[in-house]
Amino acid sequence: MFNRILLPLDGSALAECTIPHALALAKLADAEIILLHVVEESGAETGVDPYEWHLRKAAAQTYLDTLCAKVQALGVSTDCRLLAGSAAERIVEQVDVLGADLLLISSHGQSGRTDWAMGAVARKLLEGVGVSMMLVRGHGEPAESVALAPARYRTLMVSLDGSRRAECVLPIAERLMEDQHANLVLVHIVQRPSLLGWAMLPEEERRLAEQLVERTQSVAQNYLNDLQARQGERASVVLSLADNVATELSEVARHHQVDLLLLCAHGAAANPVRTFGDTVNGILTYCPQPVLIYQDQPVQRTIERKVAPAARGRHGELDSLPPLAA
């Protein structure tokens, strides 16, 4: 379970849609939520005007302090940090410095929604942070317009491939199911052989391939039934045959009106040098629901760290200005 949740916020309504999810996850194990705001410099080549910098710093600190007080009023252990520099670099740095075991981010922030599945900062973080992560699709509702309360999950979905590694996320789903009296959908997708390879097979070998698919489905069904029996009456199973695992998982999530999809960063074909496997990458592209990715193994960071442009105090405050304009 998670003990320290890092929640980066840029002051936008899109980013603030993550707060209810942080509250829901913190409740499971009395986790601490750390609110992080990174003030990015504009015009770094010519320096920053001191007056403008102090105004931006003061506004950011007021924003953090106000939000931190609201979260603390709910009985959640909360801290806040105000830093300067590149948002992605500072966030990756703070994951290590703070020992955060969950990074919770929005797909988009101040730059707004785009045709892309997520913004540039979110993509960098997903590829460069080696801890568990949760991605929430920004929906643009300001935190002030809705009650600041834990997210409500009526239906959870867990993607499984039959490996013990993929099952690592099950304890989190079980805790959420118990805490929120939610339903749990256990899903296994059997991937069809590629169409090109299938068409080139002789008739006899094609029948063998069909038998292999049928046998795989039978084994998978038994596997899901065993898991369902352990989860109780609120659990159901879905076994599907598809060409693309990620798109099929997204369709299953839509059909069952899933509120949160949980899956492990790696499955049976784990590649230790990659932050997560192909299925997770596809899910992040196609699935509109919030996605929690449990990191099952340490991953080397891919974002190069740089020295912060401003010294930080004991609690992470900005203690000095970036280089001044000439």
pLDDT given at position 306: 42
Which one is predicted more confidently, 278 or 312? Answer: 278
pLDDT given at position 281: 84
Mean pLDDT of all residues in the chain?
83
Q: What digits encode the pLDDT tens for the residues 101-154?
A: 999 999 876 655 555 556 678 888 887 788 999 999 876 554 455 568 999 999
For the 4-145 domain, the top CATH level (class) is: alpha beta
Mean pLDDT across the stretch 299-326? 43
Q: Where are the domains of the chain?
A: 4-145, 155-289
**Does the pLDDT at position 320 exceed 50?**
no
Position 310 confidence tier, pLDDT thresholds 50, 70, 90 = very low
Q: Which of 33-42, 108-117, 194-203 bottoms out in mean pLDDT, i.e. has the lowest?
A: 108-117
Long-range contacts of 75-79 (CB under 8 A, 24+ apart): 76/23, 76/26, 76/27, 76/32, 76/33, 77/26, 77/30, 77/31, 77/32, 77/33, 78/32, 78/33, 78/34, 78/35, 79/32, 79/33, 79/34, 79/35, 79/315
Structure tokens at 52: 């403008």
Domain 155-289: give its CATH code.
3.40.50.620
Q: What digits encode the pLDDT tens for the residues 275-286?
A: 777 888 888 888
User: What percent of the chain is modeled with pLDDT above 70?
Assistant: 80
pLDDT given at position 277: 78
